[in-house]
Amino acid sequence: MSFALEGVGLVHPNGQRALEGVTLAARPGERIAFIGPSGAGKTTLLRILGAALRPSEGRVTLLDQAPWQADARRLRALRARIGTVHQQPPIAPRLRAVTAVLSGRLGQWSTLRALGSLLRPGDLQGAHAALAQVGIEDRLFERCDRLSGGQFQRVAVARVLYQRPDLLLADEPVSALDPTLADTTLRALAAQSEATGATLCASLHAVDLALRWFPRVVGLQGGRVLFDLPAAEVTPERLSGLYAAEGGLRAADEDTAVMPMATAFIPSGCR
């Protein structure tokens, strides 16, 4: 099992509840999209799956381990097997793209090799191949602060592709990309999942992309799972119910971007 959540809930220090009673499980190689209105809890859920946030309630198992019962060494080793594409990538702007990509494996390397890679990139071929998957191999030696927002986001995706994690998480990985590049990037993430057997979970505002690239779709609303269905069973009626309270929900997590009405994202064939 890649992960199992049983009755997971989270209450922020200010008393605001972000998740309540979330029970989900995934097998290796599954691709799951998390959709829902802003503030539904998507980012919070991904942070829990990344062992970056400890829930207030419930049980969490990640890659057959209980992260919050592990010692510091085992927790670091577990996190090294999980790759996350963040909405705002934690990559130093002055890093070159090649160094940013190679940093995806720092948690798997010895301290000596990790320091050496920062000073002198050691796997140019691997970094080039990862960047090629997202269409920016020509930016291999470009500094990240000289890239466009979309190119920077694709460097973050290439970093996780190079890492080759067992659990691959992506928080709005295509928010800065045009439709064609968004499709290319999600294709690369899906191909990585299929090639390595990694479970892929992504939060997406664009429902049409979720339905196209993810066989399983989980709808979140107000911190609860509203539905967990095969993509083919996510009907316009279910989507309307999911986004019905779009204007009334308060932000319960980091999903703060204003989102158009859900019907704007329903593929034309489903309207």
Domain boundaries, the chain: 3-81+165-270, 88-164
Pairing label, strands 3-11, 167-171: unpaired
Question: In the prediction, which pLDDT does 106 show?
Answer: 80
pLDDT of 199 higher than 70: yes
pLDDT of 141 higher than 70: yes
Mean pLDDT of 56-61: 98
Please write the tens of the pLDDT for every residue from 92-104: 999 999 999 998 9
pLDDT of 159 higher than 70: yes
pLDDT of 183 higher than 90: yes
Q: Which residues, 6 or more positions from 1, have their beta carbon under 8 angstroms from its beta carbon?
A: 25, 26, 27, 28, 61, 64
Question: In the prediction, which pLDDT does 248 show?
Answer: 33
The SS3 assignment for 232 reads: helix
Residues 114-152 as b/e (b if ≥16 CB within 10 A, e otherwise) read eeebeeebeeeebbbebbebbbbeebbebebeebeebbb
Extract the tokens encoding 261: 């009405």
Longest C-alpha distance within the chain, in Å? 56
With cut-offs at 50, 70 and 90, classify the pLDDT of residue 265. Answer: very low
Question: What percent of the chain has a predicted confidence (pLDDT) above 90?
Answer: 79
The SS3 assignment for 66 reads: coil
pLDDT of 49 higher than 70: yes
Report the distance separating Cα 97 and Cα 260, nearest Å: 33
Pairing label, strands 57-62, 3-11: antiparallel
* Class of CATH domain 3-81+165-270: alpha beta
What are residue 221's DSSP bridge partners? 224
pLDDT of 212 higher than 70: yes
Question: In the prediction, which pLDDT does 117 show?
Answer: 61
With cut-offs at 50, 70 and 90, classify the pLDDT of residue 121. Answer: confident
Angstrom distances, CA of residue 110 to CA of 87, 95, 98, 190:
28, 21, 19, 29
Q: In what order do the strands lie in the sheet with 31-35?
A: 82-85, 167-171, 199-203, 31-35, 216-221, 224-230
- Residues 47 and 249: beta-carbon distance below 8 Å: no
